[in-house]
Structure formats: structure tokens, C-alpha cells
Amino acid sequence: MNFPAHLKTLGLTFASIFLTATASADPSIVRRIAFGSCADQQKPCPIWGTIADYDPQWLLLLGDNIYADVVDGRLKPSTPERIAAAYQQLGEMPEFNRLRASTNIMATWDDHDYGNNDAGAQWEHKDAAAEIFHNFFGTPADSPLRKQRGIYDARIVGPPGKRVQMIMLDTRYFRSELEKAERPLPGFRARPYLQRTDPQATMLGDQQWKWLEQQLRQPAEIRLLCSSIQVISDEHPFEKWDNFPAERQRLYDLIRDCEASGVIILSGDRHRGEISLDPYSVGYALYDVTASGLNQASRVWRPLEPNRHRVSSLEYGNHFGAIEIDWDRQDPLISLQLRWEDGEIATQARVLLSRLQAKPAPKPLPAGVVSAGRALTLDVGDAAEVQFLVQAGRMFGERMRLLLNSESDYRSKRNFTVVMEATALSGPWGNIDLADLQGKTIRARGTIGVYNGVKQLVIETPEQLQIVP
């Protein structure tokens, strides 16, 4: 039968709508997620209604969901009574209640709902704050979550092949104390936080680290790793994972060792939005999407904070984050979005799921041997045995020295260099060339030194270097 052209077009339209509706009919398949942070319950927050209109299947709250430690516009350590009162104010907002009634919610906390600005493990009211947190978000009375220390949580939603894992980290309860510099950096009013490199310093604590490894070893196609503070951005002077460089490296190593594909980091805290990308640290493209400013984002444009990993940013304006997953493609497409207060897309990055696939994990290192990443966290003067794959290097002068690099770009902040002095270029290495070592795994013993502010290891005898089969 021949149909008029306009009816054919109409039929195709109806068919498309039918197929789309059929494809999205299964409510267990997660296709749309909202996330955000930084909502002061003492101020209007119309974006709750915008998120409700967006109609996400899940809402992930990344912390600073209330500001319990702000009194008359000033920071002041909170009390359990003030924390409970702040949650009550949030619970009385009609738009938040409309959103809570229509959407599944998972949450973690940051400092202002924890109860004290930039606080960590030493906060005196942390257990009381945890109980109030569980009461507000409806954690069942008999849930194991109420008995554990800290509020970390995780779950997997969706059928095999379309599983989304949501991991809520607790970056407050166990975190070691921060250390501040004596004076501000140029262009900043606040004194910057320093890196803590002592081996006792922790972000998550042993108990949560063991739990996280268990989660990352569970099967899932996409993993949303929710951290209240930024993981990848490491140049601004405020709170971030890089304040504990060994802990951040431990996170990267754990993702590699667990062969955990599909990890995408969601973060908050900064009162601005941005998307950061690290293409190297876990063996595939690792994104950190910061959505910070449900009603606390800067009202006016402000200068960019330093961030060499940034691929996109919002320097002003309240916003929320959104993740949209197109499972119907042969290679599923993930859209990482930041949306304005009116719901319009402000910026986004798109990545194919095939680009988030883990490589086989490196074999465990022998006791006492560290990776290049761990070597960078050691102190100058420490004895070390370092193992890595040689990706680049350089021979200097008439065989005066050979440089072996763990990264293809020696300028990379992740690069660690082993320097073979002329005295080491003898014996088995007498006629060795860079080409003979590139692509090989080496193990070098010596002492951590520094050159032009960059850590390295210098070996002076042939016995200090070996090729690992």
C-alpha cells in the first residue's frame, strides 16, 4: 500500500516515539542522574524545583547539603542541636520535598553539614552529626550503616551490561588534620593547605579503604565515585585530595589494581563548576565533574583557579550536575553535564563507555618495592626501591649519564626519573642504549634525591639497576 509522504513521516515519528518509550520503559535501567552540592538552607533554593522538573531517577548529594556552621553569615563550629535545626529547615522547603518524593536520593557530607569548616577526624560532634544525617535521609533503624563509623555507602542499580554503581565516600570522619602554610600565595587571601607526606596521614582511614576495594571489585559498567572535595584538580590552595598525595595515589592505584572500568568522579565544595580530565593516572580517561553551587555559587564572574586538568568550567552561577546515559547505542554514550538554575545545559563533556575500560592490572610489587607514583610521595633522602615501565629517556654527553622516565613526557607531574651516572654505565650496562631499555620494566635501588625541585633516584653502580622479566 502506498501512503502519502506526510503520513510516512508521521508514521516514522510515531515509530521513533514508540521505540524510545519501549527502550526506556524498564525503570531499573539508569539513564538520568542529577547531582550537586552546597545548598545553604537559610537562603532561597529554587534549583530544587528545577531538578525535580528534570525528573532524574537518582539524585546524588555530594555534601554541604546544609550549612550548620554558619551563623549570621559567619562561620562558627556547630552543635548537634544546630545541625538538626538546619536539616529541619531543609526539610521544610516545598521544592525539596517535591524532589525527595519523586527521586531516589543518596548522600554524603562535607564540612558544613559535618558541622565545622574544613574539619576532619578530630571533630567532636561527628558521631552525633552522623546520627542526625541518617535520621534525615531515612536510613532504616536496623541498617548496618548506622553501626559503622563514617557514613560511606554504595549500591549497584541496573541489569548486567547496564549496571551503574554509586559510591558515596566519606572524606571527613577519618581524615587527618590539614596543615597550613605561614602566608598566602600571590593572588589569594587564605593561607594554602600544604601536602602531608607522613605515612600516618589518611583521607579515608583503613576501614573505609578496605570497604572501597570491595566495592571496586564488584561488577559494574559505570561507577560514579562521589567525593565531597576535588580529586583531580591539584593546584588551587584549598581542600583537595592532593593535600594527601600518597592517599590520592593510593586511590589511583586501587582503581588500576581492581581493574575497575567506568569510574567517573563527582565532586563539590568549590562554589563553582568545572570538568577536569586526567587521561593517565588510572590507565583510561578519568573525569572529575565538580558541581558546586545549588545556591552557593559565585554570583559574579571570578578569575579561574589554577587547574591544568580543566576541560570546561563555570565561574559563576548556581547549577547542578547531570549524567545522561544512552544505553541504546552499540557503544553507550555518557554525557557529563553542568546545568544552569533554569535547567539549560551550561557545558558538557561526552565520553563513550569504551573509552573508560581498565587495562589489565600490573602484577603486585614485591614487599618493599614502590611504584613511580609512590616514589614521588617519598621524602628526599629516603632509601627506595622503585619499579616502573620505561616510557622515555635521554642519554647525555659521551655516556655521562642515562635518564629513564616513567612517563612519555618528562615534564608530566606524574613522571619519575632514574638517573644512571657514568659509573653505573659499566659492567652489564657497558654498551647499553636507551632503545634497549625503553619498553622494559626496571627496578632501581638508591636514595630519593631532587633536581630543579623534581624528585628522582640516582644510581651510581651497575648492581643498583635490574630489568624485571
Residue 20 included in any domain: no
Q: Are residues 56 and 201 in the same domain?
A: yes
The residue from 287, 321, 356 where one domain ends is 356
How many beta carbons lie within 10 A of that of residue 281, not counting itself? Answer: 19
Q: Where are the beta strands (DSSP E) in 146-242?
A: 153-157, 164-168, 222-227
Same domain? For 426 and 382 the reply is yes
Longest dimension (CA), the chain: 88
Closest by CA to 64, choosing from 35, 34, 103, 30, is 35
Residue 292 lies in a domain: yes
pLDDT (average), residues 383-396: 91
Report the pLDDT value the prediction gives residue 396, as an integer from 0 to 100.
79
Same domain for 424 and 316, yes or no, is: no
Secondary structure in 3-state letters for the chain: CCCCHHHHHHHHHHHHHHHHHHHCCCCCCCCEEEEECCCCCCCCCCHHHHHHHHCCCEEEECCCCCCCCEECCEECCCCHHHHHHHHHHHHCCHHHHHHHHHCEEEECCCHHHHCCCCCCCCCCCHHHHHHHHHHHCCCCCCCHHHCCCCCCEEEEECCCCCCEEEEECCCCCCCCCCCECCCCCCCCCCCCECCCCCCCCCCCHHHHHHHHHHHHCCCCCEEEEEECCCCCCCCCCCCCHHHCHHHHHHHHHHHHHCCCCCEEEEECCCCCEEEEEECCCCCCCEEEEECCCCCCCCCCCCCCCCCCCEEEEECCCCEEEEEEEECCCCCCEEEEEEEECCCCEEEEEEEEHHHHCCCCCCCCCCCCEECHHHHCCCCCCCEEEEEEECCEEEEECCCCEEEEECCCCCCCCCCCEEEEEHHHCCHHHCCCCHHHHCCCEEEEEEEEEEECCEEEEEECCHHHEEEEC
**Domain closes at, from 356, 380, 410:** 356
Q: Does residue 6 lie within any of the structural domains?
A: no
Q: What is the DSSP string of 446-462?
A: EEEEEETTEEEEEE-SG
CATH number of the domain enclosing 408 = 2.40.50.140
| CATH number, domain with residue 121 | 3.60.21.70
The reply to whether 273 falls in a domain is: yes
Question: What pLDDT does residue 436 have?
Answer: 86
Question: Tens of pLDDT along 114-149?
Answer: 999 999 999 999 999 999 999 999 999 999 999 999
Residues 298, 386, single domain; the answer is no
Whether 322 maps to a domain, the answer reads yes
pLDDT one-digit tens code per residue, 318-365: 999 999 999 999 999 999 999 999 999 999 999 999 999 998 887 788
Question: Which three cell numbers mark 38?
Answer: 552546597
Q: For the residues 217-240, what does the mean pLDDT come to? A: 97
The number of folded domains in the chain is: 2
Task: Verify that 321 and 220 share a domain, yes or no.
Answer: yes
Give the integer Cα–Cα distance in Å for 158 and 29: 5
The reply to whether 284 and 380 lie within a common domain is: no
pTM of the model: 0.83
Q: Are residues 350 and 373 in the same domain?
A: no
- The answer on 409 and 303 residing in a single domain is no
Does residue 287 fall inside a structural domain? yes
Q: Could you list the residue range(s) of the whole structural domain that residue 415 is in?
A: 369-468
Work out the mean pLDDT of the chain and round it to a whole number: 91
What is the per-residue pLDDT for 291? 98
Are 87 and 206 found together in one domain? yes
Q: Which tens digits make up the pLDDT trace of 104-115?
A: 999 999 999 999
Of 334, 356, 378, the residue at which a domain comes to its end is: 356
454 and 325 housed in the same domain: no
Shared domain for 329 and 213, answered yes or no, is yes
pLDDT band at 399 (very low <50, low <70, confident <90, very high): low
pLDDT tens per residue across span 137-191: 999 999 999 999 999 999 999 999 999 999 999 999 999 999 999 887 777 777 8
> Does residue 280 lie within any of the structural domains?
yes
Residue 342 within a domain: yes
Q: What is the mean pLDDT of residues 10-15?
A: 36
Whether 412 and 437 map to the same domain: the answer is yes
